[in-house]
Amino acid sequence: MADLSAFPITTRWRAQHPDRIQLYSLPTPNGVKVSTMLEETGLPYEPHRVSFDTGDQKSLEFRSLNPYAKIPAIIDPNGPEGRPLALFESGAILLYLADKSGQFIPQKPADRYETIQWLMFQMAGIGPMFGQVGFFNKFAGKDFEDKRPRDRYVGEARRLLTVLNDRLAGREWIMGDVYTIADIAVFPWVRNLTGFYEAGELVGIADFKHVTRTLDAFVARPAVARGLTIPGAT
């Protein structure tokens, strides 16, 4: 049985199955990326809920794993060379799980790097910009009388959706017929923009028919349906 005692986080979130990947997360867009990937690959894992309501992510135990105090994070007890590996940042975790499982990333070098390119497009563009739209539309920013900051991020969100929509024209998924970590990264954020953030009308999501078509296909996948609810409430 794996020994995870070197990781202080396990004193707060105790592993019942220490031989499995330990997932520390919440069903936010970034968290859903990793839970969905784990469900898609079939890699054995144990989820732990990191509650924002109680500030779990700011605890010393969680920050021992991720000093940035953001979910998700993992510990793989069976990492490279058989040694435990701790990782944070959802994009890095997706890449690691793709390589570990041999799934959802092309093996041809050119296609692999193109997939990583679209993963970075989500990490650098879609995530931060859609998050700002959510702030100004649903949270504290909605009370700002000056709507120029909101409109700036709405405009940027539309620009990103246009790029994504053009990419998906004539394609089933971002990389064509093959479903990859690029899709697993992008579409939880599109779903959040139109769902939780309630910004579909604001950004004119109906203008992006290829995006909405692919979003429907994404959420229809059984592994995605499971991943959207993990970790569950405790």
Mean pLDDT, all residues of the chain: 96
Q: pLDDT, tens digit, for every residue of 34-78? A: 999 999 999 999 999 999 999 999 999 999 999 999 999 999 999
- Ranges of CATH 3.40.30.10 domains, the chain: 8-103
Asked if residue 153 has pLDDT above 70, the reply is yes
Asked if residue 234 has pLDDT above 80, the reply is no
pLDDT of res. 6: 93
At 233, is the pLDDT very low, low, confident or very high (cuts 50, 70, 90)?
confident
- For residues 233 and 105, the model is more confident at 105
| Residue type (1 letter), 112 | R
Residue 125 CB partners (closer than 8 Å, separation 6+): 160
Ramachandran angles phi, psi of 85, nearest 5°: -130, 130
Q: In what order do the strands lie in the sheet with 21-25?
A: 45-49, 21-25, 73-76, 85-88
pLDDT of res. 2: 83
- Ranges of CATH 1.20.1050.10 domains, the chain: 109-223
DSSP letter for each residue of 138-175:
HSGGGG-S--HHHHHHHHHHHHHHHHHHHHHTT-SBTT
**Phi and psi based region of residue 212 (left: phi greater than 0; alpha: psi -120 to 50; beta: remaining):** alpha
Maximum Cα–Cα distance for the chain, whole Å?
A: 58
| Over residues 204-229, mean pLDDT | 98
∠ CA(65), CA(133), CA(113), 5° rounding? 55
CATH of 109-223, one of 1.10.760.10, 3.40.50.720, 1.20.1050.10, 3.40.980.10: 1.20.1050.10
Q: pLDDT, tens digit, for every residue of 94-135? A: 999 999 999 999 999 999 999 999 999 999 999 999 999 999
Question: How far is the CA of 87 from the CAs of 28, 36, 82, 127, 129, in angstroms?
Answer: 18, 17, 15, 19, 24
Residue 52 and residue 100 in contact, taking contact as beta carbons nearer than 8 Å: no
Ramachandran angles phi, psi of 6, nearest 5°: -75, -10
Question: Strand runs (DSSP E) across the chain, as ranges?
Answer: 21-25, 45-49, 73-76, 85-88
Cα dihedral 7, 231, 220, 44 sign: positive
Residue 28 and residue 35 in contact, taking contact as beta carbons nearer than 8 Å: no
Class of domain 8-103: alpha beta
